[in-house]
Structure 1
Amino acid sequence: MKIVLFHQYFLGKNDPGGSRWNQMSSVISEFYEFNVLAGNIHYTTGKRIGKNIFFNKEVITETLTVYRSWTYSGYNSNFFGRLIGYLSYSFSSLLTALFIKKVDLIIVTSPPLFVGISALIASRIKGIPLIFEVRDLWPESAIATNVISNKQLIAIMYWVEKVLYKNASKIVVLTPAFAENIAMRFPQFAGKIELVTNGADFDLMQPSPKYNWVREKYGWGNKKVFAYFGAHGVANDLIQVVETARLLKDREDILFVLIGDGMQKELLKEKARDYHLKNVQFIDSVPKEQVADFINASDVCMAILKKTDTFKTVYPNKVFDYMACKKPVLVTIDGITRKLIENASAGLYSPPGDYQAFKQTVEKMVHLPDLELNKMGENGYAFIKEHFDRKKLAQKYLSIINNLLSV
């Protein structure tokens, strides 16, 4: 049997970013022929993936193939560039899907929301079931971060959301809060909802000594390093880190490191230059295979998002990566992420947007004995090993697929 996945941001080999579906597809392709329809622009770096501008085919294994179709390259330029990026992928991926024969199931993961329509059209034409996966609540997240404000566009997106819920055979959500949100707004679809959370890739993320090549190469020495990994976009609100660094600019023993790319990176660097900060270091995205080395070289890892009610419902992938490497976590994300860290006794919470509170939390973690920081890391590792092992979660996804296909 054959499955097609629409996933605009499916990672290439060693690409930085969230690798949920890279591991899921590896497990599922042991039982089914699995075809991924991906975009050819990386969502954080903006770099093109593959040699051909319009179409690339990569055979990973005998049962796992990735097709990359044309996507507008101005994704990280501004809102309209991102919108064109979404629409271009939605159109090109649909064309690719229609040429794949004998498909038994389609899965689409959102955002972007618009690609759900492409997946729905393909499923209708082929007469097969559709799984709609919600990685982030759209359009709510886009509204909360002021990415979209046009009332007509918002109305269209809410309509698209409802259409997709209505026509999906299953709605897979990544957090309990997503399930509650959808069930509250659309009780008629509650019976379709399945929870398969984000989780830790223990094959890729493993603890190792702090004093490694990263510390030496980047001159971290004996400083207490607070590191952030991931996108530098509007939603990430990394100005919190820069402003906190400004408050701590006289503390030579503390270093903030921001690793990744995104549309606000240059703005953040400019702000750090304006403040004459020597305690903030910017590093471009690193290959996935090196991320664990950077995490392990850090003292504390940070998970940061803009202050909105919507982000109280999310589990960022990076938090699981941190915990898998036994690192204490500093979060400025209220809601279920805060509960995760507090339930696991794996770090500390600081209210989003409160620079003074962020400063105090950083200073508190700096002054904690290493034994206590290490204990936080051990606690986090044990907690996610029990509850958020991605291999176990992939097996849960597989059971949902099996039930739909009556295997």
Structure 2
Amino acid sequence: MKKHILVISQYFFPEQFRINDMCEEWVNRGYKVTVVTGIPNYPKGKFYEGYGVLKKTRENYKGIDIIRLPIVPRGNNSIMLILNYLSFVVSGFFWKVFTKVKADQVFIFEVSPMTQALPGVWYAKKNKISCFLYVQDLWPENVEIITGIKNKAIIGVIGKMVDYIYKNCTKIFTTSQSFKKSINERQVPIEKIEYWPQYAEEFYQPLKKTGTDETADDIFNIVFAGNIGNAQGLDILPRTAKILKSRMNEKQVRFNIIGEGRYKNTLINTVDKYDVSNMFNFIDKQPAEKIPEFMAKNDAAFICLTDSPLFKMTIPAKLQSYMACGISIVASAGGETSNVIEEANAGLTAPPGDEEKLAEAILIMLTKPKNEVRELGKNAKKYSDSHFNKKVLMDQMEIHFENCEESEGIYNV
């Protein structure tokens, strides 16, 4: 009989995160999976309809047992966000004390906040079992960007918490090679850290290109799908659109922005301010399963990260999704993200925050024959199949699960 995996993730179904698919895959492979999560409220910051502190606190989704802890919703400001982070930790502490769940090992899906890892670490220590941490957002670096906190004393305290988490995890997996180096620099042994890139769910596949009322014309359509937050740096698009508007003659471009987030209203207002509203099409958040349909209706997909040392080390999850759909990519990003796109020959990149270079990249894409643009998309799909293959990656993770000594949380091999 295979093991019982306790997954700690502040975000889970119906919120759209890759951990949903990972847990479903583990169930399909015969594992018992229990997920400890929060009340769904991402990205809008309000509890989803039908959910609340006393509503749907226990659920079963595709064979996955879900335990929802009471939390403060994210809201739309930094104070609410901090309360959201802390409330999960406090609820997780009391859950750890009183829970009767008996798991064989812990898997922590760490997107911000890293504070969410604490209940998993505490549970693993209490029960003397192995604890795996999957790092997708580096802390304390990420704190300064998300919350704007610069106080050295506060960042120092957060750094000590991060070190405590790293020290008490059996194995640490990272979504980029650069993260390995950064974590190693915090005195974590390199053999304890492993690069394990994200994969795209199986429904991310190339579909036959079709047009809609919004995209069935000669306009070059560029799509962005995902959270519209400050970290995405989408403020570069109105500035870029202004440049394109001044340089284009017959050729035109449209940015189709799919999603919700704390920055969306500001972005819409900025688009109006730059007088480029005719070049933008805002589309409500869509189920992840529908995103490939939108990819098929566009000529290129857009990735954007703000200009910071942290984001040069980051590979956003949407890169794998885009590549799996076989669409060419235009990126305003540096570091690992641009390296992957260039290595795959999957599109064009511009330095983060540089609207002039981004406009040039888009103009180059516009002048390419359509078959060349499609070839970039095919290259993206080939790279995805060889580097981000779901079965291969999940097989690798299963080896770690099976080779870890339950009683001591160390490897047999």
Pick from 12, 24, 28 the counterpart of residue 10 of structure 1: 12
CA distance in 1, matches of 2:386, 2:219: 32
Change (3 A) 1:372 1:223: same
- Matched residue type, 1:34: V
Compare 312-321 and 115-124 and name the one that shifted more: 115-124
List aligned pairs for 1:91-170, cutoff 5 A.
Answer: 91-97=90-96, 98-110=98-110, 111-144=112-145, 147-170=148-171
Q: Provide the residue aligned with 1:227 in structure 2.
A: 223
Q: TM-score, normalised by structure 1?
A: 0.92
Q: State how far apart, in whole Å, the 2-side matches of 1:390 and 1:49 are.
A: 29
CA distance in 1, matches of 2:369, 2:80: 47
Give 1:280 deviation, angstroms: 1.3
Structure 1 unpaired stretches of 5+ = none
| 1:245 to partner: Cα distance | 1.2
1:299 paired with 2:299, answer: yes
TM-score, length of structure 2 as denominator length: 0.90
CA offsets, 1:241-276, max 9 Å, x none? 111112223657210121111111111111112222
Which residue of structure 1 lines up, in the alignment, with residue 60 of structure 2? 59
Are the aligned partners of 2:215 and 2:298 in contact in 1 as well (CA < 8 Å)? no
Q: How many residues align?
A: 396
For residue 23 of structure 1, the aligned residue among 18, 21, 31 is 21
Does the C-alpha gap of structure 1 residues 56 and 221 become closer, same or farther in structure 2, counting only changes over 3 Å? Answer: farther
**What is the correspondence of 1:5-404 to structure 2 with a 5 Å cutoff?**
5-12=7-14, 15=15, 17=16, 19-29=17-27, 30-49=29-48, 51-54=50-53, 55-62=56-63, 64-73=64-73, 75-97=74-96, 98-110=98-110, 111-144=112-145, 147-186=148-187, 188-201=188-201, 203-212=202-211, 215-216=212-213, 218=214, 221-249=217-245, 251=248, 253-277=252-276, 278-404=278-404
- Are the equivalent residues in 2 in contact too, given 1:27–1:391 (CA < 8 A)? no
Once residues 263 and 194 of structure 1 are traced to their aligned partners in structure 2, the CA distance between those partners, rounded to angstroms, is 33
1:145 is displaced (CA, Å) by: 6.0
Contact in 1 for aligned 2:44/2:262 (Cα 8 Å): no
Q: Which moved more, 1:355-364 or 1:52-61?
A: 52-61
- Between the aligned partners of 2:102 and 2:121, the Cα distance in structure 1 is 16
Please give the per-residue CA displacement for 1:293-352, whole angstroms capped at 9, x wherever unaligned.
111111110110100111111111111111111100111121111111111110011111
Alpha-carbon RMSD across the aligned residues, in angstroms, is: 2.0
Closer/same/farther in 2, CA of residues 297 and 76 from structure 1, 3 Å limit: farther
Structure 1 residues 50 and 33, CA gap change in structure 2 (3 angstroms): farther
1:185 partner SS = coil
Task: Give the secondary structure class of the aligned counterpart of 1:92.
Answer: helix
Distance of 1:48 and 1:96 partners within structure 2: 21
Q: Higher relative contact order at CA 8 Å, sep ≥6: structure 1 or structure 2? A: 1
Q: CA deviation at 1:390?
A: 2.1
Deviates more, 1:120-129 or 1:170-179: 120-129
C-alpha distance in 2 between matches for 1:144 and 1:299: 31
Equivalent residues of 2:39, 2:51 under 8 A apart: no
Q: Percent identity?
A: 26
**What is the rounded CA distance, in whole Å, between the counterparts of 1:360 and 1:114 in structure 2?**
41
CA distance in structure 1 between the aligned counterparts of 2:93 and 2:397, rounded to whole angstroms: 24
Per the alignment, in what secondary structure is the counterpart of residue 248 of structure 1?
A: helix
Counterpart code for 2:19: W
Please tell me the residue identity of whatever aligns with 1:5.
V
Query: CA 1:34–1:94 in 2, change beyond 3 Å: closer, same or farther?
Result: farther
